Structure 1
Amino acid sequence: MTFADVPEDVVASTRFRVLDVIGLSIAGSRTPFGASVSEAATLYPGDEAAVWGTARRASAIGAAFINGALSQALEYDDTHNESIVHMSSPAVAAALALGERTGASGRDVLTAVAIGNEISARVGSVTPQQFHKRGFHPSGLFAPFGVCWLAASLLRLAPAQMVAAAGITGSFAAGLIQCWVDGTQSKFLHPGWAAQSGITAAVLGQSGVTGPGEVFEGRFGLFASHLQAAEPAPAFGRLTDNLGSVWDSRNASFKPFPVAHVIHPYIDAALRLRVRERLTPERIARVICPVAAYIVGIVCEPLAEKRRPLTDSHGRVSLQYTLAEAFVLGRISKDAYAPASLRDPTILALADRVEFVVDPTMPGSERFKGVVIVETADGQRFEEIEEHNRGSAANPMSRGEIEGKFRENVTNVLDMRQADAVIDAVARLETLENVSALTGLMAPAHA
C-alpha cells in the first residue's frame, strides 16, 4: 500500500488524528503521571526522536513509548467505536518516532498511521465487546498489531519478515485493567507499550527472528488464549475482508470530553438538559440512564467504585460520577476530575442519585448512544437523547473544534506562534520531505 492507495477522506481524518495525539501528549506531559513517565526517558538514551512538549530526546523506541503513554493521560484520545480500541495514540507516537529515526517523509508517516489504525480496528473487531468483561483493555491487546504493520511499512519489510513480526507481536499482547479497581494509572501506559512493542516486533522480524504464522487463529493464538470458549466464535473475516477498499477506521470517533468514550453521549444529553430545563442539583431527585449491557462492567459497576472514585483516572471511567460533575459544574473539560471536585459533597450526593438500567434496545459498540432521564423533586420528568456520540462519523466534530481542542491542550506549553506552526505543518504533512520538520516544532518556547 502506498499513499496513493489511501482515500482522500482517510488522509484528511488521519491528519486530524496526528494533530489530536500531539496535543494530547503535550497536555499529558504536564500531569503528575506525565512527569513520572517522562523520567523514564533516562532508560532510553539517544537522540533519535523528540519527547513532545519537552526539550528531551530519546531513542526512537523510548520516544514512542513516552509519547504514546502521555497521550492517554487525560483519557482524551480517539476510539474506534466497534472495537473500543484507542488506535491513533500508539500509531502516531510510533510513526513519528520511527519516522524521525529513518528520515521518513510526511507522506510515508501518514500512510503508516492510516495502515496502523486500520489494522488495530480490524483486529479489535473480530470479537467486539468480549475483552473488557474479562479484564483486558482492547488497546493493549490489539494496537500493538497496528503498530507492527505501520512499522513494517516504514521499515520496508519483506512479506516473510512482516509475517514473522506479526507473530512476534502476539507475545506482547497484554493490557490488564485491574487498575480500574483502585484508580491507579497503569492503563495509561498501554498506548506506550503498544507503540514500543510494535516497533520492536517489526525490527526483530526484519532481523530474522521468527514468529508463529497463526498468531490470531491458532490453537494458542491471541483469541483462543484470551477468550477461551467465547461465544460467538471469532469472526476472522473481519481481518481481511475488503482490506484496502473498505476502511473500518472511518468509524472512529474523536473525543470532545476527557472521559471513557461510551459516556460521551450521556454527557452531551445531560448538559443540554441542564441548560434547557435550568436544572440545579437540588432540583434533581433522580437521574436514570438506559445503557447497553456491554458498558455496565466498564463504566457503571461496581457501584461503590463508580460513585466514589478515588482518583481522576477512576472518575474518567464512571458514568455516575461524571454525570454528577457535569450537572453540578456545567462542563466536563480538560480540568475535570480535579481533587476538589472528587471530594465535593454536592457532586457526590448527586452521584448517588444517578442510576442505570440495562436496555436491550440500545445499540452495541458500533454506535455510542446516550439517553438521560431526569426526575425532579417537584415531580417533573425530562428526557434527552444523543443518538450518535459527538465526534463520530455520524455526528462529527468540525475542523475548528479539533484545532480548538489542540490549542487548549498545548496551552502553557507552546505559545500561540508554535501552536499555529504545528497546525500548519500537520495540515500539509504529506508535503514534508522529512517528518522531523514537524517534530522539531514541539519543544516549549522557554526550554
Structure 2
Amino acid sequence: MNGEQAVAEFVAGVTWDDLPAEVRRTARLALMDTLGATLAGIPARVSRITAEFAHRVWPGEESTVLTTGRKASAVGAAFANGYAANAVDIDDCAIYTKGHPGVQIFPTALALAEARGASGAEMLTAMVVGYEVAHRAARIWHATHEVYQACGSWGSVACAAVAAHLMGLPPERVQHALGIAEYHAPNLPMMRDIDHPAMVKHGIGWGAMTGILSAQLAAEGFTGIPSLFGFPEVQEWVTDIGERYIMVDGLAWKRYACCAWTHPALEGLRRLVEEHGFGPEDVERIRVEAFHEAVRLGTRLPTTTEEAQFNLAWPLAVFLFDGEVGPKQVLEPRLTDERVRSLARRVEAVETEEMNELERLALEGDPRGRFASRVVVRLRDGRELDSGIVEGDINYPQRCWDEESLERKFRWLVGQVLKPERVEALAGMIRRFEDVPNAAALALTVVQRPR
C-alpha cells in the first residue's frame, strides 16, 4: 500500500475507538484552544466582513456562523469561522506546517458535523484526521514548493480529509477529494503578506472552503489527480499514518496574539522584566537580534490589527504596558495609544547570522537548532540589560501546556466575548465532548451569548 492509499484508508476508516488515549486527549485540547481563538476573533473587522459575505454568497440552514449566530451553508460557515479563528493570531502551530492547522480543521469539522448531525466523538475524530493529514501534506508541500506557501494551500488538502471523513466517503472517493483539493489549492505567497499585512493573511477561509467543496465534488463523481501522498520520495513521511500520531508531540499552543516569530523576543523581554523589575517609562531603547523572518516583520507603527500581529515592535511595546499580548492589545482600538506608539518607535530589529544559523538547524530538525532572539534593553539610567539567546515557546514537543493551563487561556480569551455562564458551559462541554450526542450543541451554546 502506497502513501496515497494509506491516507485514504485512514481518512475513510478511523474511528474514535481506534484512537489511543493520548491522541484523544490532544484532540480535546486542540478543540478547546481553537474554539477559544475563534471566539476571541469575533470582534475583529475581518470576522464581520467574512461573516456577512458568507451569509450573502452561501446562504443556507446547514451550519452556524459564530460571529453572527445565524445559519449559512456548511461551506459559508467554515469560510467565515476560519477567518474568525485566525483573526487575532493566537491559534495553534504545528510541526512541519510552518503555520496554523487548527483554524482550518476546526471550522471545517464543526460546519459539517452540524450539517450532518454528527456526534462529538465523530467531530473530534474528524479533527484528528485533519491534523494527521495536515502534518504530512504540509511537509510535502513545503519540500516541493520554492516559495513559502501560507496555510490555506496545504490546508485545503487537510480540510478535504476532514470533510471526506464526516461525509463517509469510501477510500477511492477520498483519494479523489484529496487530489481535487491539492489541484485547486490557493497559491499563497506568505512573505508578501508579511511585507504588507492584510486580511488575506494565511488564507485560512480558502483552505476550509476548498476542502469542503473538493469532498462534495468527489462525492458526486468528480475526479481529481493522484495526490501528493503518492510521490515515491515521500513515502516514509506518509505510510505511518494511523500508527504514528504526529499531533501528540507536534502541536504547539500560543500565549501571545501575534506572529510566532515574535515570541522569542517577547520571552526574552518578559524574563528581563521579571529579573530587573523595570517598566515602560524606564526604557530608552530596545534592540532585538533575530532571524531573517522575524526581522522581516518590521517595526512600522500599525494601523490595523493585521499590522499589529505581523510586527516585531508593537507586541514588545504593548507587553511592557500591559504584561500580556492578547486580543485587546492588537485590535484597532488600542493601536492609537500614543504611549505605546512612542515606545514602539524605539524598538530596533537587527538580523544576525547567529540567529539565522540557529533557525536553519531547527528547520532541518537538528537538536542544536532554535527559533531564537536576543533582546537588549537600554534603560534611561544608563543600564543595558541583555537577555542572551532566548528560545520562544513554540517548540516540539511543547511541554508548557496541560489541561489546566489551556483552560485558563480559554477562559481568558472567551471571557472577553461571552458571559461567564456561557464560558463555564463551553469549558464543561469540551472536557467531555466525546460524550455529546450532537456536535451542533457547541454552536448552540456559543450563539446564546449577548451581553
The TM-score normalised by the length of structure 1 is 0.86
1:347 aligned to 2:362? Answer: no
Greater shift in the superposed pair: 96-105 or 409-418? 409-418
Q: Which residue of 1 aligns with 2:16?
A: 3
- Report the AA paired with residue 374 of structure 2: V
Residue 382, structure 1, aligned to residue 380, structure 2: no
What secondary structure, in the 3-state scheme, does the structure 1 residue paired with 2:362 have?
A: coil
Distance in 2, Cα, partners of 1:268 & 1:100:
39
For residue 296 of structure 2, what is the amino acid of its counterpart? Answer: E
Give the CA deviation at 1:163.
1.1
More helix by share: 2
The two structures have a TM-score, normalised by structure 2, of 0.85
Alignment of 1:21-420 (within 5 A): 21-40=34-53, 41-126=55-140, 128=142, 134=147, 136-137=149-150, 139-174=151-186, 175-177=188-190, 178-187=192-201, 190-215=203-228, 236-237=234-235, 239-250=237-248, 251-281=250-280, 282-291=282-291, 296-297=292-293, 299-301=294-296, 303=298, 306-327=299-320, 329-337=322-330, 338-341=334-337, 344-351=340-347, 353-359=348-354, 360-362=357-359, 363-365=361-363, 369-374=371-376, 376=378, 378=382, 380-387=384-391, 389=393, 393-411=397-415, 413-420=417-424
Q: C-alpha distance in 2, partners of 1:390/1:171?
A: 31
- CA distance, structure 1, for counterparts of residue 341 and residue 443 of structure 2: 44
With over 3 angstroms needed to count, the CA separation of the structure-2 counterparts of 1:130 and 1:318, relative to structure 1, is farther
* Separation of aligned partners in 1, 2:448 and 2:156: 30
Partner of 1:114, secondary structure, is: helix
Mind listing any 5+ residue stretches in structure 1 that lack a counterpart? 219-233
Alpha carbons of 1:37 and 1:53: their partners in 2 closer, same or farther (altered >3 Å)?
Answer: closer
Number of the residue aligned with 1:227 = none
| Shift in CA distance, 213/22, structure 1 to aligned 2, threshold 3 Å | same
**Does the 8 Å CA contact 2:179/2:224 hold for their aligned counterparts?**
yes
Letter in 2 for 1:207: E
Q: Deviations over 1:168-208 (max 9, x none)?
A: 102321124433333321125x2221111111111111110
Partner residue, 1:225 = none
Give me the whole-angstrom Cα distance separating, in 1, the residues matched to 2:149 and 2:83.
17
Amino acid corresponding to residue 396 of structure 1 in structure 2: C
What letter matches 1:402 in structure 2?
L
- Name the SS of the counterpart of 2:352 in structure 1: strand
State the shift of 1:267 in Å.
1.0
RMSD over equivalenced CA pairs, Å: 2.7
Which of 441, 445, 449 is matched with 1:441 structurally? 445
Structure-2 separation of matches of 1:168 and 1:395 = 37
1:383: Cα distance to partner? 2.1
Aligned residue number for residue 429 of structure 1? 433
- Partner Cα distance (1:181, 1:373) in 2: 22
Going from structure 1 to structure 2, the CA distance change for 1:146 and 1:284 (only over 3 Å counts) comes to same
Q: What amino acid does structure 1 have at the position aligned with 2:234?
A: F
Distance 1:307 1:109, change over 3 A: same
Supply the distance in 2 between the matched residues of 1:23 and 1:332 (Cα, whole angstroms): 15
Q: How many Å separate the matches in 1 of 2:311 and 2:144?
A: 20
Take 1:371 and 1:97, find their aligned partners in 2: how far apart are those partners?
39
Residue pair 1:123, 1:239 contacting (<8 A) in 2 also: no
What percent identity do the matched residue pairs reach? 23
Residues 302, 195 of structure 1: alpha-carbon distance in 2 compared, 3 angstrom cutoff? closer
After superposition, the Cα gap between the structure-2 partners of 1:302 and 1:255, relative to the gap in structure 1 and judged at 3 Å, is: closer
19-28 or 336-345, which deviates more: 336-345
Deviation at 1:385, TM superposition (A): 4.6
What secondary structure does 1:376 align onto?
Answer: strand
The verdict on how the C-alpha distance between 1:325 and 1:212 changes in structure 2, with shifts beyond 3 A counting, is same
Contact 1:53 1:442 in 2 (8 A): no
Q: Is the 8 A contact 1:20 1:402 kept in 2?
A: yes
Gaps of 5+ in 2: 1-13
* C-alpha distance in structure 2 between counterparts of 1:376 and 1:202, whole Å: 56
Which residue of structure 2 lines up, in the alignment, with residue 228 of structure 1?
Answer: none
Number of residue pairs the alignment of both structures matches: 421
| Structure 1 residue 446: Cα displacement | 3.4
CA distance in 2, matches of 1:266, 1:356: 13
Aligned residue for 2:35, secondary structure, equals helix
